[in-house]
């Protein structure tokens, strides 16, 4: 590993001109991930998946670690669902396909990967899992009918003792910030559930063997409990040498 390892922060798309408020809020969240990574000594490559799988795989090949951040709903074609569900967002199939390909590439390459919100769902779908398409109007995972900066809500999750998530964030009850109307349904291959919300929905998953961890909440939100994002990014840094040993 070089003195300054590289982390690829991968978005579905860089520009959302159809929705300036959402675009601006995403910039804040992604900016917080980048700022924390840089503070930890990473060199950050900010990449957009909507340029296609070939471009994304080429751009991330040299990366020492990958973060897949939040964004739009995954197109239902990728998990056997149907369009027309409640609260459906726009879809970016090219970005979905590219990020799914990236998950597979990370497993082959041994690249440590962190998924955040949509990133968790991408990981699950990439490994054959499915999604609950809408959690209902009364779900506690997103605030509805409010300005974009107020959509995140605070709730608790229960982190499984003995998991990587518990090593990083502590076991038992954990306060988190989230804004999601979908969740894991059927779990993808070789994934383990390591946190659930108070209403039973999956909130964190880990790969049984690979350095892959994903959370359904937003540790990068400005109102998230201090230290969550830092701990998750530090775990990627610790996992980098393992990739190089395997590659050797």
Question: Which residues does 109 contact at the CB level (< 8 Å), separation at least 6?
Answer: 61, 243, 247
Which of 73, 103, 76 lies closest to 89 in space, CA to CA? Answer: 73
Told to judge if 23 belongs to the known catalytic residues of this protein, a careful annotator would answer no
Catalytic residue list contains 160: no
Select from 139, 151, 144, 206 the least CA-distant residue to 178. 151
Please identify which of the residues 117, 139, 180, 201 carries the catalytic annotation.
117
Helix extents (H) in the chain: 20-39, 53-60, 93-109, 118-126, 164-169, 228-247
User: How far apart, in whole angstroms, are the C-alpha atoms of residue 180 and residue 155?
Assistant: 12
Please check whether residue 218 is in contact with residue 69, taking contact to mean a CB–CB distance below 8 angstroms: no
CA distance 235 to 206: 13
Q: Check 180, 181, 201, 218 and give the catalytic one.
A: 218
**Nearest 5°: CA angle at 92, between 86 and 94?**
145
Strand order in the sheet with 65-68: 43-48, 6-11, 65-68, 113-116, 212-215, 202-207, 191-197, 153-159, 172-178
Whether the Cβ atoms of residue 196 and residue 159 lie closer than 8 Å to each other: no
220 is known as an active-site residue: yes
Active site residues: 117, 218, 220
């Amino acid at each position: 590993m070089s003195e300054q390892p590289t982390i690829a922060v991968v978005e579905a798309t860089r520009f959302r001109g159809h929705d300036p408020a959402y675009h601006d809020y995403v910039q804040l969240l992604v900016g917080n991930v980048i700022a924390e990574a840089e503070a930890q000594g990473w060199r950050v490559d900010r990449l957009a998946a909507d340029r296609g799988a070939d471009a994304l795989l080429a751009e991330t090949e040299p990366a020492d670690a990958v973060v897949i951040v939040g964004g739009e709903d995954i197109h239902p074609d990728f998990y056997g669902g149907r369009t027309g569900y409640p609260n459906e967002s726009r879809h970016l199939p090219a970005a979905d396909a590219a990020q799914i390909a990236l998950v597979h590439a990370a497993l082959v390459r041994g690249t440590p990967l962190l998924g955040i919100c949509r990133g968790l769902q991408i990981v699950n779908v990439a490994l054959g899992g499915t999604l609950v398409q809408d959690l209902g109007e009364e779900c506690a995972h997103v605030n509805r009918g409010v300005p974009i900066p107020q959509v995140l809500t605070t709730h608790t999750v229960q982190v499984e003792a003995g998991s990587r998530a518990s090593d990083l964030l502590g076991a038992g009850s954990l306060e988190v910030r989230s804004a999601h109307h979908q969740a894991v349904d059927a779990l993808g291959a070789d994934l383990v559930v390591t946190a659930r919300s108070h209403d039973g929905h999956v909130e964190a998953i880990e790969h049984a063997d690979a350095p892959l961890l994903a959370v359904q909440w937003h540790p990068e939100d400005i109102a998230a409990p201090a230290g969550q994002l830092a701990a998750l990014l530090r775990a990627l840094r610790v996992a980098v040498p393992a990739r190089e040993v395997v590659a050797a």
